[in-house]
């Protein structure tokens, strides 16, 4: 199958006529692009995201049952969900869940933990400094940067008008 795809793209690249090359390329893209069903994706995202949130609620109730007050139970829940997300990312399970559940896996705390852990796992073979150290925030870095920057701007606006 991979050899056929290479042969198809090779044929597209070698085509001299730009119009025909573009037609061949569009046909090739349509051929290799997976077909997705929006209703199926929405249902999967709903159930996966809902399951993650339900699991979080179960942890909160469990920690409260074990004697923690509500605020401490929520803190333990956050730590537990981040740990589980990183753990399952390290073993490749979270990626399979994300492939099935799509946007449902972007539930804020677990999706963010996955976005930090995934590059670390991917680049670990390049070493601790130039692999993990350089690339660990390649996905989450812009979110952190613009989150802090927009918070600063909004705080400044709030300060000026209050």
Q: Which residue ranges make up each domain of the chain?
A: 38-161
Question: How high is the pLDDT of residue 6?
Answer: 56
Query: In this predicted model, what pLDDT tens digit does every residue of 19-60 receive, in sequence order?
Result: 877 787 888 888 888 788 899 999 999 999 999 999 999 999
Question: How high is the pLDDT of residue 153?
Answer: 96
Within a 10 A sphere around the Cβ of 84, how many other Cβ atoms? 18
Query: In this predicted model, what pLDDT tens digit does every residue of 61-112 receive, in sequence order?
Result: 999 999 999 999 999 999 999 999 999 999 999 999 999 999 999 887 898 8
Question: How high is the pLDDT of residue 112?
Answer: 86
* Distance from C-alpha of 21 to C-alpha of 2, rounded to nearest angstrom: 21
Where residue 127 falls (left for φ over 0; alpha for ψ -120 to 50; beta otherwise) is left
Length in residues, the chain:
162
The answer to whether residue 7 scores a pLDDT higher than 70 is no
Question: How high is the pLDDT of residue 84?
Answer: 96
* Distance from C-alpha of 116 to C-alpha of 136, rounded to nearest angstrom: 6
Beta carbons within 8 Å of 104's beta carbon, 6+ residues apart: 44, 45, 46, 47, 48, 49, 50, 51, 52
């Amino acid at each position: 199958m991979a050899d056929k795809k290479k042969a198809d793209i090779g044929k597209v690249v070698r085509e001299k006529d730009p119009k025909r090359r573009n037609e061949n390329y569009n046909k090739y893209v349509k051929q290799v692009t997976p077909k997705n069903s929006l209703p199926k994706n929405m249902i999967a995202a709903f159930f996966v995201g809902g399951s993650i949130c339900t699991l979080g609620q179960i942890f909160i109730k469990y920690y409260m049952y074990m004697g923690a007050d509500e605020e401490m139970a929520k803190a333990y829940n956050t730590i537990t969900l981040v740990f589980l997300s990183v753990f399952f990312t390290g073993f490749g399970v979270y990626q399979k869940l994300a492939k099935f559940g799509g946007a449902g896996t972007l539930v804020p705390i677990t999706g963010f933990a996955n976005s930090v852990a995934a590059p670390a796992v991917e680049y670990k073979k390049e070493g601790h400094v130039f692999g993990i150290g350089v690339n660990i925030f390649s996905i989450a870095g812009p979110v952190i940067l613009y989150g802090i920057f927009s918070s600063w701007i909004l705080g400044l606006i709030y300060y000026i008008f209050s």
